[in-house]
Amino acid sequence: MSTDTVSLVDIAGYLPENVVSADYFARYADPEDVTGSLMFKAPKFRRHVAPGETPADMAERAIAPILARRGREVLREVDILIVHTQLPETGIVGNGGEVAARLGINPEWLIDLHNGGCAAFVHAMKLARQLLISTDARSALIVTVQNSAGQIFTQEQVRGKPQAAIPGDGAGAGLLVKSGASPILDIETRHLPEFAGQMTVLADPPRRYWEAGPGQMHVGFTESKIAKVLGRGNRIVPEVTQAVCRRLGIPSTELDLLVTNQPNRAFLRNWRDALQLPAERHPDTFDECGNLFAAGIPVTFDRAVDEGRVPAGALVVFAGFAHAGDFAAAAAVRWGGR
């Protein structure tokens, strides 16, 4: 078995049962808080977590198809568990420990990944790959959970804002092993700390997020900030994708599939155009699921595989950016099939 080749051998997604149409948000729309920005063109549908559904519930349900295909015995070799939760339900720490307990595993490496945002799945791939190459760890499980749509964005002071209709809930999981079966060919990650903290949460009256107060928290947007995020996002996702392609010695036009995070239709179109890819090679689930944040990449790829759009041997790039542009990443995989 190769010790320097790591493969993404399986991937799975989970979507809650509760389907919410755009009409739900339209009835609460605040006429004084409208914007024509492309950032907030609402998808037709999205999913919301069920009352009482926890991040560990969602993680367990995302992992279940992998276990159904491969048997629960694969958990015996999981020495690395990396979990990204958009809205951790345990103060200060994340939900990685609870996920491990649900799975009945005791990994040597248990990481709650709090940064990486919408590109956290690729960030986790890079961390897991490096740990597998440099240690005796046998396999890694990475999980991304987006659970804020049905909890943060349905609050009575938030649901009328244009931003509320964009997110959807869901979770994704990936299994990485030391093998050449479905090799990860290259990963590019870029931290852009000068933009860190520009995606803020606000309340009215103003308070820090952990302080008690009457105002419900929402993401703070201004028209100037939206314009900067659009410009930044349009640029950095093609940049990290092209960096991977250059190192592989291929033009972006030869990618069989590009799977990105999905903030809105404008980004999806602009990324596809910048990389000169037709729509059929850039699948998305935006209109059915909304912006799934870090779960968008695994959920969308899982669906593309199920639909027969990813034959064995396909060259796939996963790419995305986080928050207001403080992180961007792309990973190339020669998909080996399930």
Q: What angle do CA 82, 107, 7 make, to 5 degrees?
A: 55
Q: What band does 37 get if pLDDT is binned at 50, 70 and 90?
A: low
Handedness of CA 17, 21, 26, 29 (dihedral sign): positive
Nearest to 301 by CA among 313, 289, 317, 324: 317
293-324 pLDDT, tens digit each: 999 999 999 999 999 999 999 999 999 999 98
pTM: 0.96
Tokens 């990936």: give the residue. 174
Percent of the chain beyond pLDDT 70?
96
Tell me, what's the pLDDT at 2? 46
**Cis peptide leading into residue 205 (ω within 30°):** yes
Which stretch of DSSP H or E encloses residue 226?
helix 223-248
- What confidence tier does 1 reach under pLDDT thresholds 50, 70, 90? very low
- Would you state the pLDDT for residue 35? 59
pLDDT value of residue 197: 81
* pLDDT of 36 strictly over 60: no
Q: Which residue segments constitute the domains of the chain, with CATH numbers given?
A: 6-180 (3.40.47.10), 186-334 (3.40.47.10)
